[in-house]
């Protein structure tokens, strides 16, 4: 038995030594990054629900590259680049995660399941109490979604690719997945990975942005509520009608994003119509199962060959610019609302318009409480947060519909 045959016994190491040095170093780097994600997830610095399956998936896929029967390097997990139907059918019988990728990930079904779960968790009372101010804040917190497009064009991306990466500014994972699938299918894997990696960072990064942009005096501002105008209790039937009317209206306006609208409002409708068993199923097994497989697939898709795209570094930079601009836009919106309401508003609430439900709302309350423990801004922050989801869905619909049109006219 020669040395080569012995080396081939341990194919993970063999492929690492035999591959291009850039790929070999990237593989090692991604294995270390995967382990780091698990550590940060376990510590609670990043979202453990997503980071632990993603980290282990990332580390494992880069360790288990092998030589396939044809001689090329591959793995037994998934091949996301397959387009030929015969090859796809063959791979469905070989790669164990291929069925989940093909039937739930690449068609956006998993994003819709997550959205349905989010809908079941959303209490839209906060939004119904102050719709105008909530939607106003959410619109400003979309600054990154708009302003990143010209920056991405300067980086040399196409308009469709720019719009897809700019969606990271909306801080809504399923929306980014859906938009990039529709607009930039070739880049949807790195864009989605970047989006989910950064969504975990909002929890760690936004508190610093709040401290940087809002002086302590305003950060601790409590909202004075009129004792003659107590908080209105919203009946479940009103919330159900809201979901039905808005779902139909938005689907009429943007049929291309209707699966997402339908999923979100279906979740809300189930919650408000008292279908307890279905609600428990959607917000429990379905949501947790989908999040697990989403994290797992995102990790598995971080294979060195797939990520070694010259555009990935650009996407990493643009993603963080998008989230930063959205945070800044949200706080600017908060300041505007502070002036509109003649000082009876906390500008920090603005950043909750970035629709990372409910992380950004929690971040706002935490930062406000640090300065003034008696100031409760969570209801207003959650209203802006939920509006952020709706505004991101509206912008996704607009991008999917109008960006191809603008590109053809441009």
Residues that bind other proteins in the complex, under the rule CB under 8 A: 127-129, 131-132, 134-136, 138-139, 142, 146, 149-150, 153, 159, 229-235, 238, 241-242, 245-246, 249-250, 253, 387, 390-391, 394-395, 398-399, 402, 406, 409-410
Q: Measured from the CB atom, is 185 or 232 closer to other proteins? A: 232
What residues contact 405, with CB distance under 8 A and at least 6 apart?
none
Q: Measured from the CB atom, is 159 or 197 closer to other proteins? A: 159
Run of H or E including 43: helix 21-43
Minimum separation from the CB atom of position 407 to other proteins (A): 9
Minimum separation from the CB atom of position 280 to other proteins (A): 26
Query: Prior bond to 398 cis, omega within 30?
Result: no
Q: Measured from the CB atom, is 42 or 225 closer to other proteins? A: 225
Minimum separation from the CB atom of position 377 to other proteins (A): 19
Asked if 270 contacts 124 with a C-beta cutoff of 8 angstroms, the reply is: no
Q: CA torsion angle for 126, 129, 133, 137 (degrees, to 10)?
A: 10
What residues contact 220, with CB distance under 8 A and at least 6 apart?
368, 371, 372, 375
Q: Measured from the CB atom, is 105 or 139 closer to other proteins? A: 139
Query: Prior bond to 119 cis, omega within 30?
Result: no
Q: Measured from the CB atom, is 235 or 366 closer to other proteins? A: 235
Minimum separation from the CB atom of position 146 to other proteins (A): 5
Minimum separation from the CB atom of position 142 to other proteins (A): 7
Nearest residue to 300 via CA among 61, 35, 51, 36:
61
Q: Measured from the CB atom, is 257 or 323 closer to other proteins? A: 257
DSSP 98-145: HHHIIIIITTSHHHHHHHHHHHHH--THHHHHSHHHHHHHHHHTTHHH
Q: Measured from the CB atom, is 78 or 141 closer to other proteins? A: 141
- The residue behind tokens 């950060």 is 219
Residue 268 Cα distances to 172, 242, 273, 282, 292, angstroms: 17, 9, 9, 11, 22
Q: Measured from the CB atom, is 177 or 400 closer to other proteins? A: 400
Q: Measured from the CB atom, is 198 or 399 closer to other proteins? A: 399
Minimum separation from the CB atom of position 131 to other proteins (A): 4
> d(Cα 353, Cα 170) in Å, to the nearest integer?
9
Angle between helices 311-340 and 188-213 (to 10 degrees): 40
Q: Measured from the CB atom, is 159 or 296 closer to other proteins? A: 159
Q: Measured from the CB atom, is 36 or 407 closer to other proteins? A: 407
Minimum separation from the CB atom of position 363 to other proteins (A): 23
SS3 per residue for 223-270: CCCCCCCCCCCCCHHHHHHHHHHHHHHHHHHCHHHHHHHHHHHHHHHH
Minimum separation from the CB atom of position 399 to other proteins (A): 7
Minimum separation from the CB atom of position 139 to other proteins (A): 5
- Name the phi and psi angles at 45, rounded to 5: -75, -40
Asked if 325 contacts 83 with a C-beta cutoff of 8 angstroms, the reply is: no
Minimum separation from the CB atom of position 241 to other proteins (A): 6
> For the chain, how far is it from start to end, CA to CA, in angstroms?
63
Would you state the structure tokens that stand for residue 130, as one six-digit string?
Answer: 């102050």
Minimum separation from the CB atom of position 251 to other proteins (A): 13
């Amino acid at each position: 038995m020669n040395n080569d045959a012995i080396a081939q016994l341990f194919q993970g190491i063999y492929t690492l030594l035999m591959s291009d040095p850039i790929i070999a170093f990237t593989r090692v780097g991604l294995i270390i990054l995967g382990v780091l994600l698990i550590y940060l997830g376990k510590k609670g610095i990043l979202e453990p629900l997503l980071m632990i399956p993603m980290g282990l998936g990332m580390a494992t896929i880069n360790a288990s590259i092998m030589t396939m029967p044809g001689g090329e390097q591959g793995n037994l997990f998934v091949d996301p680049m397959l387009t030929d139907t015969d090859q796809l059918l063959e791979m469905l019988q070989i790669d164990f995660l291929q069925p989940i990728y093909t039937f739930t990930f690449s068609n956006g079904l998993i994003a819709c399941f997550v959205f349905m779960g989010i809908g079941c968790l959303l209490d839209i009372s906060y939004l119904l109490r102050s719709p105008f101010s909530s939607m106003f804040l959410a619109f400003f917190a979309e600054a990154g979604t708009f302003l990143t497009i010209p920056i991405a064009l300067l980086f040399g991306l196409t308009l469709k690719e720019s719009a897809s990466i700019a969606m990271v500014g909306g801080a809504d994972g399923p929306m980014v997945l859906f938009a990039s699938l529709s607009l930039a299918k070739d880049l949807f894997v790195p864009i989605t990975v970047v989006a989910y990696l950064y969504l975990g960072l909002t929890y760690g990064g936004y508190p610093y942005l709040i401290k940087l942009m809002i002086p302590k005096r305003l950060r601790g501002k409590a909202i004075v509520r009129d004792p003659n105008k107590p908080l209105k209790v919203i009946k479940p039937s009103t919330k159900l009608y809201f979901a039905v009317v808005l779902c139909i209206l938005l689907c009429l306006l943007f049929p291309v994003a209707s699966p997402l609208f339908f999923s979100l409002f279906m979740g809300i409708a189930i919650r408000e119509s008292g279908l307890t068993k279905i609600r428990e199923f959607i917000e429990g097994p379905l949501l947790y199962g989908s999040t697990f497989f989403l994290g797992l697939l995102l990790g598995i898709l971080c294979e060195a060959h797939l990520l070694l795209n010259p555009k990935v570094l650009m996407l990493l930079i643009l993603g963080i610019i998008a989230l930063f601009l959205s945070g800044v836009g949200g706080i600017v919106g908060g300041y505007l609302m502070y002036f509109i309401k003649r000082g009876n508003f906390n500008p920090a609430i603005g950043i909750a318009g970035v629709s990372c439900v409910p992380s950004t709302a929690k971040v706002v309350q935490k930062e406000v409480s640090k300065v003034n423990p008696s100031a409760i801004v969570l209801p207003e922050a959650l209203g802006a947060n939920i509006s952020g989801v709706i505004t991101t869905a509206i912008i996704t619909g607009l991008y999917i519909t109008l960006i191809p049109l603008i590109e053809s006219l441009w």
